């Protein structure tokens, strides 16, 4: 009974309309690559589709590998060298597919479509640091004024040399034409300073001052919500409350928002790949 109540509570919270309306149609289930759309798609949408399909194939091959005697024997012996070699036989999509995206981006060079592709590579390249750096350099050179920097700013200190990341984020904080990007850059710069053991007391004091200002003057911004997390959870994320808006892209690369599904039961799976 307890599990049922917890699950139902989650569904109530995550439905934009509170409770799903009786008799409302369920969300369509999309399984594997066969459900992905065909037809006249943009370059970005086609590339997104390729990456999703590659991830599906990767997952299937990985499952097959884990059923083999070689893998099971190596796992039993905790033979990490053999396990790594076996895993290398199943190339990750970041390594096998994303490099081609950089070439495709050249065909729409200088356009917003190129920026979308390069930000996509930057966001999904994972362990492929060199790939991330190539995407970053092209974005920095041709799309500095883009709004797309917001979601990737926090990753830059992990992708780039620290001095390079620090200088670029500081430049965005001052020169970006978009207020939300300037604010996010200030937030990332300040939080990075607080994590830096080599930062001086004066630098850390200035960073705390910036974060306090964001909390008080911009409480509804993404950085403000991050800093005011406990308060936001208490006021907006309790069971039975209307879920806050969530905006992003679906598996087709099309814009979507949570309120599009008002009146239906919605389950949201938050996950990450580290």
Contact 189, 203 (CB under 8 A): no
Q: Which two tokens stand for residue 249?
A: 């892209």
Please name the residues in contact with 235: beta carbons below 8 A apart, sequence gap of 6 or more: none
Strand-pairing partners, residue 257, are 247
Tell me the torsion sign for CA atoms 269, 49, 148, 206: positive
User: Over the stretch 217-251, which tens digit does the pLDDT of each residue have?
Assistant: 998 888 998 888 777 777 777 778 888 888 887 76
How many CA atoms are closer than 13 Å to the CA of 6, on its beta-carbon side? 3
pLDDT confidence of residue 272? 59
Q: Which of 13-27, 55-69, 170-184, 209-223 has the lowest mean pLDDT?
A: 13-27
Res. 22: pLDDT tops 70: no
pTM of the model: 0.68
User: Over the stretch 92-149, which tens digit does the pLDDT of each residue have?
Assistant: 899 889 999 999 999 999 999 999 999 999 999 888 899 999 999 999 999 999 999 9
Residue, of 183 and 3, whose pLDDT is higher: 183
Q: Which long-range contacts (CB under 8 A, 24 or more apart) does 129-138 make?
A: 129/159, 131/94, 131/98, 131/99, 131/102, 132/159, 133/159, 133/160, 134/102, 135/102, 136/160, 138/102, 138/105, 138/114
pLDDT confidence of residue 138? 96
Task: Give the helix/strand (H/E) hosting 248.
Answer: strand 247-249
pLDDT confidence of residue 263? 87
């Amino acid at each position: 009974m307890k599990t049922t109540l917890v699950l139902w509570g989650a569904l109530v919270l995550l439905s934009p309309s509170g409770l799903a309306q009786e008799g409302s149609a369920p969300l369509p289930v999309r399984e594997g690559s066969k459900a992905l759309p065909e037809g006249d798609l943009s370059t970005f949408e086609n590339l997104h589709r390729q990456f999703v399909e590659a991830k599906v194939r990767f997952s299937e091959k990985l499952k097959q590998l884990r059923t083999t005697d070689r893998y099971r024997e190596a796992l039993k012996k905790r033979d990490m060298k053999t396990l790594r070699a076996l895993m290398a036989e199943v190339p990750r999509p970041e390594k096998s597919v994303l490099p081609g995206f950089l070439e495709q981006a050249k065909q729409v060079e200088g356009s917003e479509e190129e920026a979308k592709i390069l930000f996509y590579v930057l966001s999904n390249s994972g362990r492929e640091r060199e790939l991330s750096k190539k995407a970053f350099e092209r974005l920095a050179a041709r799309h500095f004024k883009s709004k797309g920097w917001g979601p990737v700013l926090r990753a830059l200190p992990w992708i780039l040399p620290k001095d390079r990341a620090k200088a670029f984020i500081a430049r965005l904080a001052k020169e970006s034409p978009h207020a939300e990007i300037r604010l996010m850059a200030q937030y990332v710069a300040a939080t990075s300073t607080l994590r830096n053991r080599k930062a001086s007391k004066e630098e850390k004091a200035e960073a705390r001052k910036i974060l306090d200002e964001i909390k008080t003057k911009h409480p509804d911004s993404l950085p403000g919500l991050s800093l005011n997390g406990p308060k936001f959870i208490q006021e907006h994320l309790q069971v039975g409350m209307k879920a806050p808006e969530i905006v992003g892209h679906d598996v087709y690369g099309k814009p979507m928002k949570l309120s599009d599904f008002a009146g239906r039961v919605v389950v949201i799976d938050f996950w990450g790949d580290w």
